[in-house]
Amino acid sequence: MYGKDRIYKKVEIIGVSPTSIEGAIETALSKAKGSLDKLSWFEVQDVRGHIGDDGKVAEYQVVIKVAFQIKD
Amino acid sequence: MYGKDRIYKKVEIIGVSPTSIEGAIETALSKAKGSLDKLSWFEVQDVRGHIGDDGKVAEYQVVIKVAFQIKD
Amino acid sequence: MYGKDRIYKKVEIIGVSPTSIEGAIETALSKAKGSLDKLSWFEVQDVRGHIGDDGKVAEYQVVIKVAFQIKD
Amino acid sequence: MYGKDRIYKKVEIIGVSPTSIEGAIETALSKAKGSLDKLSWFEVQDVRGHIGDDGKVAEYQVVIKVAFQIKD
Amino acid sequence: MYGKDRIYKKVEIIGVSPTSIEGAIETALSKAKGSLDKLSWFEVQDVRGHIGDDGKVAEYQVVIKVAFQIKD
Amino acid sequence: MYGKDRIYKKVEIIGVSPTSIEGAIETALSKAKGSLDKLSWFEVQDVRGHIGDDGKVAEYQVVIKVAFQIKD
Amino acid sequence: MYGKDRIYKKVEIIGVSPTSIEGAIETALSKAKGSLDKLSWFEVQDVRGHIGDDGKVAEYQVVIKVAFQIKD
Amino acid sequence: MYGKDRIYKKVEIIGVSPTSIEGAIETALSKAKGSLDKLSWFEVQDVRGHIGDDGKVAEYQVVIKVAFQIKD
Amino acid sequence: MYGKDRIYKKVEIIGVSPTSIEGAIETALSKAKGSLDKLSWFEVQDVRGHIGDDGKVAEYQVVIKVAFQIKD
Amino acid sequence: MYGKDRIYKKVEIIGVSPTSIEGAIETALSKAKGSLDKLSWFEVQDVRGHIGDDGKVAEYQVVIKVAFQIKD
Amino acid sequence: MYGKDRIYKKVEIIGVSPTSIEGAIETALSKAKGSLDKLSWFEVQDVRGHIGDDGKVAEYQVVIKVAFQIKD
Amino acid sequence: MYGKDRIYKKVEIIGVSPTSIEGAIETALSKAKGSLDKLSWFEVQDVRGHIGDDGKVAEYQVVIKVAFQIKD
């Protein structure tokens, strides 16, 4: 597989979750699945979040880059 | 609104303007409006420009990331 | 040409080559040509590679940003 | 709400937790609640931790920036 | 003035303006004036903004660090 | 303990886990335990992951720096 | 024009203006014009400023890199 | 001590000294002592200085982050 | 292969070559082969070089991180 | 040679080549030779390029810092 | 010496000293001398320190990368 | 003085000293004094050094940016 002509594209996506960083990543991937080719890997760029009126984390917002192979 | 499944996508766009940094940002947004879903926010990445023969700024070139929500 | 309304978009692409960094860049561009508008310039983001069983470079993987002008 | 005069301040806080990154963020927020105005959002700056004598994570230490709106 | 014992403190503040980057900086300073000692200088950290329903900039959000001298 | 001659060394290690970021950190530490002196602390450098055929996270890959004290 | 032997040099210059970021850039360029060859482009490196006794911006200080072609 | 709920806060301070980088750090700490809780550690962010009319260093200016534990 | 317990280690190595960047990478790998376990991938960190008396590149010096899997 | 008073200066130069990254570095050095003192070493800052109408690399543009010793 | 096959390795070490940054660097080197091949150069990565109960620097902690040539 | 048209230029210089970081900065400034206009301030970019055969620091090498005002 290595050494052959292939190209990948990376897109930057933000997923959210009320409970965890991993949850926000999965949200991003689950919705990206439909609109992009087969996903290959992701890289976390930024982790941030919104704080609710109770002073606790209301949602995690995780910025990831998702890479997928471009078909010929 | 917070805590629900949503994903955003960020794209990197360069707008230009002969007069100001703000003008270059507005140019980028005005043309992005047609081709992208509802735009949410932007982040300035880089500010640069071309210098004319008179040694003055001929145009500002502003690189921004534009974020917009992906519909289901 | 300068000073007029134009916008560019940058996308992040990874090309591979078994022989050289320049080869990986050309692979990325040759495949991007079909799916994107006229390409303007590129910026190298990252150079990495896979190492084969013989301990030599099996392929160079070069991450570039490719910029192209968006038509009206 | 947008377009009106508002200012936010960001402060850098480190929270700890023996079990998870999310736990360390919640610790930081729960103690910051008392001393700061209504908290708006946070940004993770750094994730690190202490390793116990058993070679396992003894505590996660997460550096965050917390933003809150300054009242007039 | 130089060479004497002095210390400065920097705080991170976000100001907003519907019209310009300079306006957002002035907003941040005008509100900081009351709560901080005499302000000395500022450093722009980040420029971003919210996009309105009309696809134009609704407000500029500028993150600055403001430095002020701490009195004995 | 402070102020005495001590030196620490940092090594860069990548651990994986199918379920969480914390799990990947623990994997890295558990295997590092045997080959390195007593571990002191770790710093997360990068969080990334592989995406499976079902479009979900197949494994988290976390790059950490692990610090340990060098004995005389 | 592309593909021929040319070299450019970049120098780092700081311009000031009491009114705007764009003004500070123009100041830098207007004075650089005399001492350097034909200027080609600029890149903004840093935006900062001095705060006056009234708590307002006394001057913007913009650090730019200016590029110009070196003649044979 | 590890694994218990604690939070730390970091503030950014600039100290000066006519003679050395270490002196500037000590100045920053000696004045911070009064206004902040018990100081824990510091991290050097930036080292710069003013040059006198004789072309020598007139003062070192060292930007540090100082961390201190917040009491309940 | 994914999802199983594995750890990788990264080491930083500098290779040189009188002729090319690729050559310097291969030098680094060829010598690393003996002293390290099976090499997996590399990441270019820095490219620099020495200039000879004739004003030409005397050698390329390429700093890479090499990753290899640690056996149980 | 070490331990004696010497100072070096670094300048930022951009060289181009239609064929390779190494070629662009050599172009930069060959033209810098005339106008600067004896060159010592270089550091690659950025690699980018222009894309021709055929979608291939028209020229590589490599930004380097060149260091040379300043004579007394 | 230049142009020949050589490789260097860099390791990350932290030295401490109660009195100065230079002292912490020398501590790191003096202990590294025994366990590593002939040391070539070092690069300072980070300067930080512990603050004693008297509010003064209890020890400087300097993170350096040490490079040494790997023998055939 | 503030608010008037002035421009500054920054140049990158490396000074060395066998004894201290401060010594290397002073070396850089003492030699720069002759060839540049009145120096204003400096910013430390990098601290590194050469290690002698005895495994101790043979010289500190400090990279600084020196700023000076350009006369009309």
Bigger pLDDT: B63 or L1? B63
Q: What's the pTM value of the predicted model, to 2 decimals? A: 0.94
Residues 6+ apart with CB under 8 A from K38: K68, K69, L53, L55
Over the stretch D51-68, which tens digit does the pLDDT of each residue have?
999 999 999 999 999 999
Over the stretch D14-28, which tens digit does the pLDDT of each residue have?
999 999 999 999 999
Beta-carbon count within 10 A of F50 CB: 18
Return the pLDDT at I71.
74
Return the pLDDT at C2.
56
Token pair, residue B49, equals 């420009």
**How far apart are alpha carbons F63 and F65 in whole angstroms?**
7
Return the pLDDT at K31.
80
pLDDT greater than 60 at residue E1: no
CA neighbor of L55 nearest in space, from G13, K39, D35, A3: K39
pLDDT greater than 90 at residue K41: yes
**How far apart are alpha carbons I36 and J29 in whole angstroms?**
37
Return the pLDDT at D18.
96
CA neighbor of L11 nearest in space, from L2, L19, L33: L33
**How far apart are alpha carbons C21 and L47 in whole angstroms?**
31
Would you place residue G62 in the very low, low, confident or very high pLDDT band (cuts 50, 70, 90)?
Answer: very high
Kindly identify which residue of chain I lies nearest to residue C21, measuring between CA atoms: I22
pLDDT greater than 80 at residue H66: yes
Backbone angles phi, psi at C4, to 5 degrees: -90, 160
Would you place residue A6 in the very low, low, confident or very high pLDDT band (cuts 50, 70, 90)?
Answer: confident
Of D21, D32, D43, the CB nearest to A48: D43
Rg of chain B in Å (alpha carbons): 15
Please list the alpha-helical segments (H only) found in chain K.
Answer: 21-35
Return the pLDDT at D72.
60
pLDDT tens digits in sequence order for chain J, 72 residues long: 454 678 899 999 999 999 999 999 999 999 877 666 789 999 999 999 999 999 999 999 999 999 998 875
The DSSP annotation for K17-34 comes to ESS-HHHHHHHHHHHHHH
pLDDT greater than 80 at residue F17: yes
Average confidence (pLDDT) over L10-31: 95
Backbone angles phi, psi at B29, to 5 degrees: -70, -40
Scan for tokens 């690189």, then name that residue.
B63
Chain C residue numbers touching A9 (CB-CB < 8 A): 11-14
Q: Give the minimum alpha-carbon distance from G51 to chain B in angstroms, rounded to a whole number.
A: 22
What's the Cα-to-Cα distance from J17 to each of F29, I54, K41, rounded to whole Å?
A: 47, 20, 33
**How far apart are alpha carbons H32 and H35 in whole angstroms?**
6
Of H2, H11, H67, the CB nearest to D59: H2
Chain E residue numbers touching G48 (CB-CB < 8 A): 41-44
Judge: D26–A55 Cβ closer than 8 Å, yes or no: no
Beta-carbon count within 10 A of D15 CB: 26
CA neighbor of F66 nearest in space, from I44, I15, I70, H3: I70
Chain I residue numbers touching C20 (CB-CB < 8 A): 22
User: Chain C window 4-63: which residues touch J at a Cβ cutoff of 8 Å?
Assistant: 21-22, 25-26, 29-30, 32-33, 38-44
Average confidence (pLDDT) over L37-50: 94
Scan for tokens 């199918």, then name that residue.
F18
Q: pLDDT > 90: what percent of chain I?
A: 72
Task: Work out the burial of residue K53: count CB atoms within 10 Å of its CB; fewer than 13 is exposed, 13-18 middle, 19 or more buried.
Answer: exposed
Q: Give the minimum alpha-carbon distance from I36 to chain F in angstroms, rounded to a whole number.
A: 14
User: Is domain G7-63 in CATH 3.60.40.10, yes or no?
Assistant: no
Over the stretch A27-69, which tens digit does the pLDDT of each residue have?
999 987 766 678 999 999 999 999 999 999 999 999 999 999 8
pLDDT greater than 70 at residue F7: yes
Select from B44, B45, B62 the residue whose CB has the most chain E CBs within 10 Å, as the one to mutate to test that interface: B44
Bigger pLDDT: K26 or L4? K26
Judge: G50–E40 Cβ closer than 8 Å, yes or no: yes
Residues 6+ apart with CB under 8 A from A11: A32, A36, A65, A66, A68, B9, C12
Residues 6+ apart with CB under 8 A from B32: B11, B13, B39, B66, C7, E55
CA neighbor of I70 nearest in space, from I27, I25, I38: I38
CA neighbor of L20 nearest in space, from E5, K61, K44: K44
The answer to whether the CB of L54 falls within 8 A of the CB of L18 is no
Judge: B67–A14 Cβ closer than 8 Å, yes or no: yes
Lowest mean per-residue pLDDT among C16-30, D3-17, G27-41: G27-41
Domain residue limits, chain F: 7-70
CA neighbor of B61 nearest in space, from B3, B15, B30: B15
Q: How far is CA B36 from the centre of its chain?
A: 12
Would you place residue B38 in the very low, low, confident or very high pLDDT band (cuts 50, 70, 90)?
Answer: confident
Of E3, E7, E11, the CB nearest to H14: E7
User: Is domain H8-69 in CATH 3.30.200.20, yes or no?
Assistant: no
User: Is domain I7-70 in CATH 3.30.1660.10, yes or no?
Assistant: yes
Of A10, A67, A70, the CB nearest to C31: A70
Class of domain L7-64: alpha beta
Return the pLDDT at D63.
98
Would you place residue I35 in the very low, low, confident or very high pLDDT band (cuts 50, 70, 90)?
Answer: low
